[in-house]
């Protein structure tokens, strides 16, 4: 466990030292700040726009950070030959990969912490309401999504070169919602074989939009009459299902990555 | 082989060097003003399979805003765009994709609020230039304003405009529903994945009544859209319309500022001048409003085909808007300066167009001062 933690810490320290995270986070914060400074017709209490832009930036910036960071871990170790002294120590490849994964997830958590601090400060400044339960669930599900993306990036980096792995990971992330809509929409128009293919695609590929609760978080508002929210937090069984769904994909991708990593000649 | 490659390279280089000449061949004619798009055109475009699959992924700011508007007014729920192009092609009118239970018609319905012969939100007459019988819709200032509004906005937008943030409508369309983009449980082949999507995304059973929320939250999107594309005339028009609907002097002045920014960026878009006139009337600055309506009429007449026929650059919505601009100019002239001045102005406009039945009718009513027409052309009918 200590070995996992040490490797994870080194990943995080390296990510912070390379200042890439800072650049992504600062650029994103600059964007959020710019949005807050625009005067929207002197109207007060406009919060959906701010929430939508801020949550979108948070999600995209963190996902890109995770994909790049995770995809780079193993190729870089091989390229710089730093993996040899590490594996010469009594550290198994499972421990090594687990440590890398934990490091990437810590970096994701670091990004979300920074973003959340700014987002919540902005929300307070604008005096707009935020459904705390939904927001907490949004963060939790985003972290599950980052886990799936990180393990997927590990796998891709072991199957292809670094640039291709980053590109494919980013493209899959960007198009996942379009893919989900497309499969659902064209299902009725294809033949029996096509239906099987689409169903297989739906089951075999992780449906990343399921981890994105931002739309409900954006549109949750307290109704004047009655005081209830237009959208409420998800119930426990749904959260458990989502967690299990993400964990299965993460476990499969991690297992495959480990298999390839073990077979990789040093 | 080497020589061929050398010749090809030289040819490519020569073409590249002469390429700056190409723009000289482009037409220098300025782009005519116009709304740019109609609400039905946007609905139709966004009802296509590809558009539905893309969701909010757009490079076209107009379509992106259309989708945003639909989602914001429904608390984020993605309903299928409400257009049925087949029905439109068959009947010549646009019907929303709403379903009614079998046997439900005017004779069986017990809901007094339900108008079975209503024209709902897309009640456009697409033959304004030739019809002389549809004059009820153009005989009063209020009706003209309503006509312009209906061309610019959907019924949902007009309904939501009356709401304040936090307010919702309990819109009980018990006898009709619009499908959601996310499938219902009965139609979903994806099992638990579909179930999770319905839980995670804003979704509501389409059979339940729709609940619309206030549209003010959309205003930043219109602001951003016009900042990114200052030629987005429709963005200026709808943004100003939302602001005007806030019905406070401060927001109406903001609407004026916004529309004037639009005019500065699109001086030939006559609809912007028309909207400016409406805003100025709301501010009770009638003299300036008249100037705006007249400017809109002048620009519109210059852009209108002489016979008013629809074409690629002139739609029924352009025709509605120019009708409003011309008739409002005449009506306000009549109310402020008298019948003779209005008649002179009307004749002057008429002389610049081959056909324009609504104006013919108004001229006839102005020429007969003692006879009050069935409409209220002679009455001072400010909204």
Mutate to test the interface with A, among B46, B53, B227 (most CBs of A within 10 A): B53
Whether A242 and B254 lie within 8 Å, measured CB to CB: no
Residue B199, pLDDT > 50, answer: yes
Residue B310, pLDDT > 70, answer: yes
Going by pLDDT thresholds of 50, 70 and 90, the confidence category of residue B301 is very high
* Residues B98-138: tens digit of each pLDDT: 333 333 333 333 333 333 333 333 334 334 433 444 444 45
Average pLDDT, integer, range A236-246: 97
Please report the pLDDT score of residue B138 as a whole number: 55
pTM (2 d.p.): 0.76
Nearest CA distance, A113 vs chain B (angstrom): 23
Mutate to test the interface with B, among A36, A42, A43 (most CBs of B within 10 A): A43
**Residue A207 at interface with chain B, using a CB cutoff of 8 Å:** yes
Tell me how far apart the alpha carbons of residues B361 and B366 are, in angstroms, rounded to a whole number: 9
* Residues B44-97: tens digit of each pLDDT: 666 666 666 666 655 567 777 878 888 888 888 988 865 444 444 444 443 333
**Residue A203 at interface with chain B, using a CB cutoff of 8 Å:** yes
Q: B71: which chain A residues are within 8 Å (Cβ-Cβ)? A: 219
Q: Among the residues of B19-174, which ranges form H helices?
A: 39-46, 49-54, 61-73, 85-91, 141-152, 155-161
A86's CB contacts (< 8 A; 6+ apart) are A7, A77, A96
* Residues B207-244: tens digit of each pLDDT: 888 778 888 888 888 888 888 889 889 899 999 998 88
Nearest CA distance, B201 vs chain A (angstrom): 6
Residue A148, pLDDT > 50, answer: yes
Tell me how far apart the alpha carbons of residues B151 and A39 are, in angstroms, rounded to a whole number: 29
Residue B151, pLDDT > 60, answer: yes
| Domain residue limits, chain B | 39-99+120-171+210-367
* Residues A211-236: tens digit of each pLDDT: 999 999 999 988 776 678 889 999 99
Going by pLDDT thresholds of 50, 70 and 90, the confidence category of residue B176 is low
* Residues B12-31: tens digit of each pLDDT: 888 877 776 666 555 544 44
Whether A178 and B55 lie within 8 Å, measured CB to CB: yes
CB A151 within 8 A of CB A249: yes
Q: B224: which chain A residues are within 8 Å (Cβ-Cβ)? A: 38
Superfamily for the B39-99+120-171+210-367 domain: Tetratricopeptide repeat domain (1.25.40.10)
Comparing A37 with B181, which gets the higher pLDDT? Answer: B181
Please report the pLDDT score of residue A40 as a whole number: 77
| Domain residue limits, chain A | 2-263
Tell me how far apart the alpha carbons of residues B219 and B235 are, in angstroms, rounded to a whole number: 10
Tell me how far apart the alpha carbons of residues B357 and B133 are, in angstroms, rounded to a whole number: 9
* Residues B261-287: tens digit of each pLDDT: 999 999 999 999 999 999 999 999 988
Please report the pLDDT score of residue A99 as a whole number: 94
Whether B219 and A218 lie within 8 Å, measured CB to CB: no
Give the CA dihedral B274, B276, B279, B281, nearest 10 degrees. -70
| Phi, psi dihedral angles at B171 (to 5 degrees) | -70, 105
Interface A–B counts its CB contacts (< 8 A) at 121
Please report the pLDDT score of residue B116 as a whole number: 36
What percent of chain B is modeled with pLDDT above 70? 67
Please report the pLDDT score of residue B210 as a whole number: 79
Residue A41, pLDDT > 80, answer: no
Tell me how far apart the alpha carbons of residues A217 and A238 are, in angstroms, rounded to a whole number: 16
């Amino acid at each position: 466990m200590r070995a996992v933690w040490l490797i994870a810490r080194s990943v995080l320290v390296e990510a912070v030292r390379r200042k890439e995270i800072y650049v992504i986070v600062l650029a994103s914060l600059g964007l959020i700040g710019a949005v807050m400074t625009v005067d929207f017709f002197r109207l007060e209490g406009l919060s959906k726009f701010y929430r939508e832009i801020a949550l979108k930036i948070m999600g995209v910036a963190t996902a890109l950070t995770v994909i790049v960071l995770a995809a780079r871990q193993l190729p870089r170790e091989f390229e710089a030959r730093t993996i040899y002294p590490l594996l010469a120590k009594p550290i198994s490849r499972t421990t090594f990969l687990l440590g890398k994964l934990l490091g990437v997830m810590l970096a994701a958590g670091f990004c979300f912490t920074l973003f959340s601090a700014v987002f919540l400060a902005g929300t307070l400044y604008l005096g707009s309401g935020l459904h705390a339960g939904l927001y907490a669930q949004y963060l939790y599900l985003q972290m599950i999504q980052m886990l799936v993306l990180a393990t997927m990036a590990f796998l891709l980096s072991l199957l292809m070169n670094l640039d291709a792995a980053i590109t494919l990971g980013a493209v899959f992330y960007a198009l996942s919602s379009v893919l989900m809509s497309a499969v659902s929409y064209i299902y009725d128009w294809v033949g029996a074989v096509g239906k099987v293919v689409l169903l297989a695609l739906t089951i075999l590929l992780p449906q990343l939009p399921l981890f994105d609760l931002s739309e409900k978080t954006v549109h949750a508002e307290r109704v004047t009459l009655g005081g209830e929210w237009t959208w409420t937090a998800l119930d426990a069984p749904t959260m458990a299902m989502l967690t299990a769904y993400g964990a299965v994909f993460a476990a499969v991708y991690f297992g495959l990555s480990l298999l390839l990593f073990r077979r990789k000649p040093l | 082989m080497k020589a061929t490659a050398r010749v090809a390279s030289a040819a490519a280089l020569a073409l590249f060097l002469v390429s700056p000449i190409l723009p000289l061949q482009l037409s220098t004619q300025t782009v005519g003003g116009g709304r740019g798009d109609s609400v039905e055109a946007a609905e139709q475009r966004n009802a296509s399979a590809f558009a539905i699959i893309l969701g909010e992924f757009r490079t076209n700011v107009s379509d992106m805003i259309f989708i945003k508007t639909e989602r914001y007014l429904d608390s984020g729920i993605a309903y299928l765009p409400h257009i049925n192009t087949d029905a439109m092609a068959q009947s010549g009118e646009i019907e929303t994709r709403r379903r009614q239970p079998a046997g439900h018609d005017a004779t069986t319905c017990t809901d007094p609020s339900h108008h079975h012969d209503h024209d709902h939100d897309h009640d456009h007459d697409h033959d304004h230039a030739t019809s002389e019988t549809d004059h009820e819709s153009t005989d009063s200032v209020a009706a003209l304003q309503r006509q312009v509004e209906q061309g610019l906005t959907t019924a949902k937008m007009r309904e939501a405009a009356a709401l304040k943030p936090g307010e919702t409508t309990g819109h009980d369309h018990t006898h009709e529903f619009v499908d959601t983009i996310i499938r219902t449980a009965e139609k979903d082949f994806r099992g638990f994945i579909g179930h999770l999507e319905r839980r995670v995304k804003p979704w509501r059973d389409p059979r339940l009544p729709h609940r619309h929320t206030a549209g003010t939250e959309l205003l930043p999107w219109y602001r951003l859209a016009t900042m990114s594309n200052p030629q987005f005339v429709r963005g200026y028009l709808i943004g100003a319309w939302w602001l005007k609907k806030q019905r406070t002097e401060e927001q109406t002045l903001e609407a004026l500022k916004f529309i004037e920014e639009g005019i500065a960026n699109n001086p030939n878009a006559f609809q912007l001048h028309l909207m400016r006139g409406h805003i100025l009337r709301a501010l009770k600055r009638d003299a300036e409003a008249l100037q705006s309506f007249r400017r809109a009429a002048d620009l519109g007449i210059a852009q209108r085909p002489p016979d008013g026929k629809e074409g690629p650059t002139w739609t029924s919505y352009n025709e509605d808007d120019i009708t409003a601009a011309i008739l409002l100019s005449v009506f306000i002239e009549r109310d402020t300066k008298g019948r003779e001045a209005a008649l002179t102005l009307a004749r002057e406009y008429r002389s610049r167009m081959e056909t324009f039945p609504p104006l013919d009718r108004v001229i006839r009513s102005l020429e007969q001062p003692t006879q009050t027409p069935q409409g209220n052309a002679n009455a001072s009918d400010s909204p």
